[in-house]
Chains A and B, each alone.
Chain A
Amino acid sequence: MFRFEKKANPFYEKDVSGCAVSAIMNTKGRRFSSEGIVKSIANQRDRSNGLGGGFAAYGIYPQFAELYALHIMYQNQASAHKTEQYLDDYFQVEHKEVIPHRHDTVISHHPFLRRYFVKPYPVGEKTPDRIFERLSEDELVIKNVMRINTGFDGAFVFSCGKNMGVFKGVGYPEDLAVFFKLEEYSAYIWIAHGRFPTNSAVWWGGAHPFSLLDWAVVHNGEISSYGINKRFLENFGYNCTLFTDTEVIAYIFDLLVRRHDLSFEMASKVMAPPFWDEIEKMPDEEKELYTTLRATYGGALLNGPFSVIAGFKNGIIALNDRVKLRPLVAARKDDFAYVASEEAAIRIVQSELDRVWSPAGGEPVIVMLEEPAAVPTAP
């Protein structure tokens, strides 16, 4: 059920999937329970087939808000032991525990699930004999996560952001919510995914959301450009290891927004750019902008059908492919924002809505916290 053996495969792996996605966010940063998101994703049960589901929740670890929360799955105790030794070399582990889960649910078989609240050691401290230097804390976390995910057999880091976490596995998402005791968490952003993979490569790490730092991505679709997106990202030091095309979206967001400092709007225009015909008709300055954008970041264009929701600490962004080959509906009600594959999945949570709309292909829906500082960082 969970497979870790294929790490050294020189070729690319991806899975082909159709899926359900849903997200609920409170724009004032007020935290709320998992009830709504579970209801929403359960309502789209037809869109998944029990072979993968998961959630991302933002604001769930206020007591450790300044620490990176590493969620790691292990195939066996030996891989856990080896990985924990490695973590000790690079990180100050403030707290470590088993990710709470129930033992009496329909989920009968799962990897070892642990979480660590960590802080990278400053350069030179603790481990003078090291291979990464002059990296920011974020970069150091990414490098080490990539290293564990490619070099440590039987270990996978599936979440590594601050004050957020991913809970995912093989099963229907509503069953996994019970398994992971999600009712015990409250978050200001909830993102959920129900998976319908059409190949047999089903394993715990392959479920959505995919996460890197505080990015969490759920995705319905197939990235036909995956082969080049992956190689484009390798150019910038990202190794795609999770055997699915969705992780490239998380890495592209990280590259464009965090490292290259592009706005969310600009980043979505990289992933779903205007057609050349449209660019041709733009005023000169805009024409140059979009031509340059496409020429420079052509390898990050996401081709093929997709609807995707990406969460980050200050909000969510939802995006369709530029010819809208997969469904995506957005809605607002007071200080709540909703995005889902189907309107019904929103209505079941909130029947009275201020506004409901179906975003056009390539037009991002960006919802930001009104007051980022308002996010509670301590209980």
Chain B
Amino acid sequence: MALKTYESEFKIVRDDSKCIACQVCVRQCANNAHIYDAEDEKVYADDSKCVNCHRCVSMCPTKALHIEHTPLQFMGTANWTSSAIRNVIKQADTGGVVLTAMGCDKKYPNYWDRILLNASQVTNPSIDPLREPMELKTIIGKKPDKLEFENKGGKVSLKTHLTPQLELSTPIMFSAMSYGSISLNAHKSLARAAFEYGIYWNTGEGGLHKDLKKYKDRTIVQVASGRFGVNSEYLNTSAAVEIKIGQGAKPGIGGHLPGEKVPEEISVTRMIPAGTDALSPAPHHDIYSIEDLKQLVYAIKEATRYTKPVFVKIAAVHNVSSIASGVVRAGADAVVIDGLLGGTGAAPAVMRDNVGIPIELAIAVVDARFRDEGIRNQASIIAAGGFRNSADVIKAIALGADAVYLGTAALVALGCHVCQKCYTGKCNWGIATQDPYLTKRLNPNIGSGRLMNLLRGWSIEIKEMLGGMGINAIESLRGNREHLRGIDLHDKERELLGIKAAGETW
């Protein structure tokens, strides 16, 4: 046997004075990191199997467990970090790609943390959202340049009618995560929370499970390069259709759901044979150019009889503003931009950590470009990728986004501890897995309630911040960069973000 020359990343620390050998940890760890020895009547640990997901820690009734990053580190250098060394060794061992999941794990500048919000003092009263109206309602879709009215016997009525729109009670939606990459219970939680809170959830590219059709009016169905589960009925069981071109975590590459993760239910939903690999090609093979995209946009509009807005999702790459402009001109009702920090169920680490640009800059340049071209009203901008809290959301809106998509934050609300092992299919929290023993750990009754709590909490905070700025409707903040100031930013970055420096006055 070849010598394994790198050690475990984590160390399981068990406090023997507290361990009652109840074996809850043993039963809860899908990675078999805890082993019960019946003879010794003791639980032992295999550190090498631990992924630091904290399931055992959370479940241990006596709080006897603790996970540490192993103190044993490679000598290394500032350049040759332990993870750099470990990855080289792993690849030398296997000849494979280093796989990972979730969002970018490199410390690039975070612009949200370098943008400050404004508040009213004296000259402009702040507004108390607990006592006065504070409106977060957001309407997504193409808007006309101008409205026309007609006067019928003194009664004014609309001559211009809006094309189909989505109405959100708060400017937040759940982003695309496919059935396959996450469990049906996760989908149920998202769908139910979206339905009850008055927002939208997104099926991702894996089709729509039959049990979720009842949430149709709050469902965005996705059409990606693999076209899984796509047929006329699917497109019409929705509030909107989203064409996925790219994903922030892995712009430019497709996806691969291995056959062992395609059991009966997923096979039916995705409309592929059970046990076969579900391959999403890197590009759509019928979209090699912007005019091809236009054809698909209109093919979908035809198939849905122009009753649904069509979104196009692209990853934030260097040329994002021109691409987004092309997307709008191709007929999209909303353009979704997924930033550098966007998550995934599986991606090569090199892609996740090195490709794309931050969502903050992408929102700013796309919004500015649309306004320069006079097409800002023709499509909504939906931002995705790494939103951690309501402040990130409100800053995105002030930069110019209409709404944001939450992926990771929603999963964390469902229990995810961001261990980044989604691709193993052994998610101990019952989210990124299809193992029936694990999926039932996510009870959609609890999950949807937690998601609604999150939406409620963030919405209250957004209202507080808006009221502080003396604004009582979210549309008055959208694209209103006057309320943002930059700190610790270069002039060029501020120019791109379109914001002044902290300390600069109106």
Interface of A toward B, CB cutoff 8 Å: 10-18, 198-199, 221-222, 224-228, 231-232, 234-236, 259-263, 266, 275-277, 285, 288-289, 291-299, 301-305, 322-323, 325
Contact in complex: B482, A227 (CB < 8 Å): yes
- Separation of A295 and B138 alpha carbons in the complex (Å): 8
Q: Is the CB of B478 within 8 A of A295?
A: no
Is the beta-carbon distance between B482 and A298 smaller than 8 angstroms?
A: no
A301 touching B506, Cβ below 8 Å: no
Give CA–CA (A323, B146) in the complex, Å: 26
Is B38 in contact with chain A by the CB < 8 A criterion? no
Task: Contact check, B124 vs A16: say whether CB atoms are below 8 A apart.
Answer: yes
In whole angstroms, what is the CA distance A303 to B476 when docked?
Answer: 6
Question: In the complex the two chains form, is A227's CB within 8 Å of B470's CB?
Answer: no
Q: Given A227-B480, A235-B377, is A199 in contact with B124 using a C-beta cutoff of 8 Å?
A: no
Cross-chain contact A15 with B506 (CB below 8 angstroms)? yes
Interface string of B487-506 (1 = CB under 8 A from A): 00000000100101000111
Residues of B within 8 Å of A235, CB to CB, are: 371, 374, 376-377
Name the distance in Å between B216's Cβ and chain A's nearest Cβ.
21
**Complex contact B157–A285 (CB within 8 A):** yes
Q: Contact check, B495 vs A10: say whether CB atoms are below 8 A apart.
A: yes
A228-B477 in contact (CB<8A): yes
**Are B139 and A18 in contact, CB atoms less than 8 angstroms apart?**
no
> Could you tell me the distance between the alpha carbons of A15 and B148 in the complex, rounded to whole angstroms?
34
**Apart from the given pairs A12-B481, A276-B135, A296-B160, 17 other A-B contacts in the complex at a CB distance below 8 Å:** A10-B495, A17-B123, A18-B123, A224-B476, A226-B480, A228-B477, A259-B146, A260-B147, A276-B137, A285-B157, A292-B147, A292-B158, A294-B475, A303-B470, A304-B471, A322-B472, A323-B127
Interface positions, chain B 118-152, Cβ under 8 Å from A, are: 120, 122-125, 127, 132-133, 135, 137, 139, 141, 143-144, 146-149
B402 nearest CB neighbor, chain A only: A298
Q: Give Cα A323–Cα B157 distance, bound, in whole angstroms.
A: 26
- Bound-state CA distance A37–B1 (Å) is 99
CA gap between A377 and B161 in the complex, in Å? 41
Closest 7 A-B residue pairs measured CB to CB?
A: A227-B482, A298-B475, A303-B476, A225-B476, A227-B480, A228-B480, A222-B124
Q: Tell which of A13, A266, A292 touches B506, judged by Cβ atoms closer than 8 Å.
A: A13
A231 and B143 in contact (CB under 8 A), knowing A296-B377, A301-B473?
no
- Kindly provide the distance from the CB of B246 to the nearest chain A CB, expressed in whole angstroms: 27
B506 touches A224 (CB 8 A): no
A291/B139 in contact, CB under 8 A = yes
Q: Does B339 contact A (CB under 8 A)?
A: no
Say whether B147 contacts A262, CB under 8 Å.
yes
**Least Cβ–Cβ distance between B429 and chain A, in angstroms:** 37
Which partner residue on chain B sits nearest A200 by CB separation? B505
By the criterion CB–CB under 8 Å, are B123 and A303 in contact?
Answer: no
B470 touches A222 (CB 8 A): yes
CB of B162 closer than 8 Å to a CB of A: yes
C-alpha gap A259/B144 in the complex (Å): 14
The size bracket of the interface on B is 35 or more
The 8 Å CB contact of A288, one of B144, B158, B495, B500, is B158
Asked if B483 CB lies within 8 Å of chain A CBs, one says yes
- Specify which of A11, A266, A293 lies most central, judged by the most chain B CB atoms within 10 Å of its CB: A11
- For the residues of B in contact with A, the DSSP-based class is loop
CB < 8 Å: which of B133, B160, B469, B470 contacts A305?
B470
Q: A266-B149, A295-B143, A303-B470 are in contact. Are A224 and B165 (CB under 8 A)?
A: no
B479 at the interface (CB under 8 A from A): yes
Q: Is B156's CB within 8 Å of the partner chain A?
A: yes
Q: Which of B124, B161, B374 contacts A304 (CB 8 A)?
A: B124
Complex interface: chain A residues within 8 A of B478 (CB): 228, 298-299
- State whether A296 touches B143 (Cβ < 8 A): yes
With contacts A222-B124, A296-B144 taken as known, whether A16 is within 8 angstroms of B475 at the C-beta atoms is no
Q: Given known contacts A276-B135, A295-B162, is B146 in contact with A260 (CB within 8 Å)?
A: yes
| 11 A-B pairs in the complex with CB atoms less than 8 angstroms apart | A13-B506, A224-B470, A227-B479, A231-B371, A262-B149, A292-B161, A293-B147, A297-B147, A298-B478, A301-B473, A303-B471
Distance in Å from the Cβ of A252 to the closest Cβ of chain B? 13
Does A323 contact B482, Cβ atoms closer than 8 Å? no
Closest to A236 in B: B374
CA distance A289 to B285 in the complex (A): 42
Give Cα A228 to B124, complex, Å: 17
User: Does the CB pair A11–B162 fall under 8 Å?
Assistant: no
CA distance A261 to B146 in the complex (A): 9
Which of B144, B479, B504 is the most central at the interface, judged by chain A CB atoms within 10 Å of its CB? B479
A254 to B372, CA, bound (A): 20
Interface string of B18-56 (1 = CB under 8 A from A): 000000000000000000000000000000000000000
Which of B127, B133, B147: most chain A Cβ within 10 A? B147
Chain A residue with Cβ nearest B494: A11
CB distance from A176 to the nearest CB of B (A): 23
Quick one: closest B residue to A296, CB to CB? B143
Whole-angstrom CA separation of A232 from B400 in the bound complex? 11
Q: Name the CB-closest residue of A to B141.
A: A295
Residues from chain A with Cβ under 8 Å of B139 in the complex? 291, 294-295
A199 touches B135 (CB 8 A): no
- With contact pairs A15-B506, A235-B371, A304-B471 given, residues A277 and B133 touching in the complex (Cβ less than 8 Å): yes
Q: Mark B348-386, 1 if CB is under 8 A from A, else 0.
A: 000000000000000000000001001011000000000
Which residues does chain A contribute within 8 Å of B374, judged by CB atoms? Answer: 235-236
The contact of A275 among B122, B133, B144, by CB within 8 Å, is B133
Nearest CB of chain A from residue B118's CB, rounded to whole Å:
9
User: How many angstroms between the C-alpha atoms of A258 and B147 in the bound complex?
Assistant: 13
Asked if A227 and B471 make an inter-chain contact with CB atoms under 8 angstroms apart, the answer reads: no
Cα A198 to Cα B121 in complex, Å, equals 11
Neighbouring B residues of A261 by C-beta, 8 Å: 148
B475 touches A301 (CB 8 A): yes
- Taking the nearest CB of chain A, how far is it from the CB of B464, in angstroms? 15
Contacts of A285 on B, CB cut-off 8 Å? Answer: 157-158
A303 touches B473 (CB 8 A): yes
In the complex, chain B residues whose CB is within 8 Å of the CB of A260: 146-147
> How many angstroms from the CA of A288 to the CA of B500 in the assembled complex?
38
CA distance A199 to B122 in the complex (A): 12
Bound-state CA distance A106–B123 (Å) is 28
CB of A303 within 8 A of CB of B149, answer no
Known: A224-B469, A275-B135, A296-B377. A199 touches B120 (CB 8 A): no
B472 touches A323 (CB 8 A): yes
Query: Smallest distance from the beta carbon of B158 to chain A beta carbons, Å?
Result: 5
Given contacts A227-B482, A295-B162, A323-B472, contact A266 B156 (CB under 8 A): yes
